[in-house]
């Protein structure tokens, strides 16, 4: 059985300009790994309608799921919902269910439900709303595309509400052996071990600590027994 696949699309001039450091990618990667969905690709694109449309089309045709972050707020630079609607061939307008949610939220807060705030009710036809327990304005799922906010705590809350609805696979497990040797010293036998276990993926990640070379050897796979077997051999080689 092969695990379902996923891509992430980050919409954000503020990431590409270096002003903000993205943290949603790392969070989503960890959550998907845990439930057995394989994150295969991430793209970061600018706040440009045509770029978002093209990326959504490319990724949604290729992977089981696409997760987007960013660009669903009330300001003029929030253009994700319209771009996703176009990419998926859906019409978009102020949807009654989202309008009602937001109206109630601003009524409770004693704030005007003005034109800008109503923009956040623009949801493509046929999309299912994604709950936003932090600030109400919903994300949405249309086809295999899950559209979420960029603010990290809202993104995380939306991920928590979407993932339990998806069918995962076998969780991707990993074990790490840290060795105080450079990569060049372990590469030969490590590569041979990797060839011996074609169903596992083995990677080596060098580091320098106090001027000395070391390497983290990581074995990944979905079969815990096989992983243990490889780990025993790896430990015999280098520990």
State which of positions 17-76 bind a second copy (CB under 8 A).
17-23, 25-33, 38-47, 51, 73-76
Identity of the residue, 93 or 203, whose beta carbon is nearer to a second copy in the bound complex: 203
Q: Which is nearer to a second copy, 139 or 142 (CB)?
A: 139
Q: Using CB under 8 A, pick the residue from 49, 77, 199, 224 that binds a second copy.
A: 77
Interaction with a second copy in 121-140: which residues (CB under 8 A)? 134-135
In angstroms, the CA 149 to CA 70 distance is 5
Q: Is 224 in the site for a second copy (CB under 8 A)?
A: no
Distance, in Å, from the CA atom of 153 to the CA atom of 151, rounded to the nearest integer, reads 6
How far apart are alpha carbons 47 and 194 in whole angstroms? 41
Does residue 205 interact with a second copy by CB under 8 A? yes
Is residue 223 a contact residue for a second copy (CB under 8 A)? no
Q: Looking at beta carbons only, is 142 or 150 nearer to a second copy?
A: 150
Residue 228, number of CB atoms within 10 A of its CB: 13
Q: How many residues bind a second copy (CB under 8 A)?
A: 72
Nearest residue (CB) to a second copy, 142 versus 149? 149
Nearer to a second copy, 77 or 125 (CB): 77
Least Å distance between CB 154 and a second copy?
A: 9
> CA–CA distance from 6 to each of 20, 68, 121, 124, 151 (Å)?
24, 11, 26, 21, 21
Distance between CA atoms of residues 175 and 230, nearest Å: 10
Neighbouring C-beta atoms of residue 119, cutoff 10 Å: 19
**Segment 142 to 201, residues that bind a second copy, using CB under 8 A:** 151, 153, 172, 174, 182-188, 190-191, 194-195, 201
CA distances in angstroms from 68 to 56, 94, 135, 217, listed in the order given: 9, 20, 18, 31
97 binds a second copy (CB under 8 A): no
43 versus 95: smaller Cβ distance to a second copy: 43
Q: Are 186 and 153 in contact (CB under 8 A)?
A: no
CB atoms within 10 A of CB 109: 10
Least distance (Å) between residue 126 CB and a second copy? 26
């Amino acid at each position: 059985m092969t695990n379902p696949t996923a891509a992430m699309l980050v919409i954000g001039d503020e990431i590409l300009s270096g002003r903000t450091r993205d943290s949603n990618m790392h969070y989503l990667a960890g959550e998907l790994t845990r439930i057995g969905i394989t994150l295969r690709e991430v793209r970061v694109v600018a706040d440009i309608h045509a770029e978002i449309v093209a990326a959504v089309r490319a990724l949604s045709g290729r992977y089981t799921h696409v997760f987007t972050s960013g660009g669903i707020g009330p300001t003029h630079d929030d253009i994700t919902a319209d771009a996703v609607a176009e990419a998926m061939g859906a019409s978009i307008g102020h949807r009654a269910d989202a309008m009602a949610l937001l109206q109630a939220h601003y009524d409770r807060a004693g704030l005007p439900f003005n034109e800008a705030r109503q923009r956040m009710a623009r949801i493509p036809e046929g999309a299912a709303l994604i709950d936003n327990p932090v600030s109400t304005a919903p994300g949405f799922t249309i086809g295999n595309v899950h559209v979420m906010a960029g603010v990290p705590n809202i993104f995380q809350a939306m991920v928590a509400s979407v993932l339990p609805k998806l069918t995962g696979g076998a969780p991707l497990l990993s074990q790490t052996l840290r060795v105080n040797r450079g990569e060049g010293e372990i590469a030969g036998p490590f590569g041979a071990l990797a060839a011996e276990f074609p169903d596992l993926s083995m990677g080596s990640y060098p580091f320098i600590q106090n001027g000395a070379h070391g390497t983290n050897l990581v074995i990944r796979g979905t079969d815990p027994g096989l992983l243990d077997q490889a780990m025993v051999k790896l430990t015999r080689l280098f520990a």
